[in-house]
Amino acid sequence: MRGWAIAIISLRDLERFWKYKWWLAALVTMNLADLFVFALIFRGIVRKDILPDYFLFLAPGIASIAAFAAAFTIGREVMMELRRGFHHYLLSLPISRSELVVGRIAAGMVRGIIYQAPFMALLLALLGFPGIRGMALVSLATLMIVASMSSLSIAASTLVRNLELQATIRSLLYFIAFFLSNVFYPESIIRQRFPEAVYAIIENNPISIATTIYRHVFLPELAPSAEVQLLLAKLFLWTLLLTVGGAQLYARNLER
């Protein structure tokens, strides 16, 4: 695999990312509203013995959601390309299938990292620098969450030929990942209110895992018992499964 070929493939996806300025602005606004409207209001509603500060509790989760949402947009590109037959052009270029696939996944990853950067800066401003180890953990979690979500959305966008069904699958996956996570609710409440099976799903959702790692780093008092190595191992497994599986599905489904 040639690095420049992967970089050029990713470059096109990045250029396109900036073209949807208004859509991006709406996405940023939505995430900021989650934090500065929703979280600030709930700070006054949520019992302090459960969560001393809901605003600070939500902030790492929003950084996690931001990375996920931006990485997930690459699937939308792939879907549009299939609709317009643009994938034929990509398949005819003098690059290998693995360079094409890795380039697309990398593009989703870079989108996620770029989009998350201001939210990460906000976290640093609000909660302070967590040290070298802390930043290494956060970076590792970010890399894995953007790789897995980019691959998942790309694979979902090529699973079926019916475009309406394709959009439905992507939306469904997005909402499962978004709502069945611990971003908005603390673990103790989830365990209390949901059946054990649902709790297991929420606990093992890659977004929940990344969020817990962020919380452990930035707000150790909120996730004191987090077994970081186990969380990293789980996230790594998700990443391995979704990137390898996603890449293979993408390559296989593009070709007829």
Partner 1 sequence: MGAAVRVRGLVKKFGNFTAVNGLTFDIEEGEIFGLLGPNGSGKSTTLLIIATVYKPTAGDVEVYGHSVTKRPDEVRKLVGIAFQDPKALWVDNPYELLVWHAMVVGYGLLDARRAVREIMEELEIWEHRGKLFSELSGGTRKKVEIAKLFLQKPKVSIFDEPTAQLDVTTKHRVWEMIRALKDEGRTVIVATNDMTEAERLSDRVGIIYKGSLRALGSPAELKDRIPAGDVLELRVDGALGEHVISALARALGTEKLNVSNGTLKAYVNRGEEKAAIAIETLSRLGVRVRSISIKEPTLDDVFFYFTGAQLGEGK
Burial class of residue 252, CB neighbours in 10 A (0-12, 13-18, 19+) = exposed
Per CB under 8 A, 94 contacts partner 1: yes
**Euclidean distance between CA atoms 58 and 35, whole angstroms:** 7
Q: Which residues 13-72 are close enough to bind partner 1 by CB under 8 A?
A: 15-16, 19-20
CA distance 252 to 256: 8
The least distance separating partner 1 from the CB of residue 9, rounded to whole angstroms, comes to 8
Q: What are phi and psi of 49, to 5 degrees?
A: -70, -25
- Residue 191 within binding range of partner 1, rule CB under 8 A: no
Q: How far apart are CA 235 and CA 210, in angstroms?
A: 7
Residue 180 · residue 197 · CB < 8 Å:
no
Residue count, binding to partner 1 (CB under 8 A)? 25
- In angstroms, give the least distance from the CB of 15 to partner 1: 7
Is residue 218 within 8 Å of 130, Cβ to Cβ?
A: yes
Structure tokens at 66: 């931001």
Work out whether 225 is an interface residue with partner 1 (CB under 8 A): no
Choose, by CB under 8 A, the member of 23, 33, 41, 84 that binds partner 1: 84
**Options 86, 129, 175, 179; binder of partner 1; rule CB under 8 A:** 86
Q: Does 255 bind partner 1 (CB under 8 A)?
A: yes
Is residue 162 at the binding interface for partner 1, with CB under 8 A as the rule? no
Q: Which residues bind partner 1 (CB under 8 A)?
A: 5, 8-9, 11-12, 15-16, 19-20, 80-81, 84-86, 88-89, 91-97, 255-256
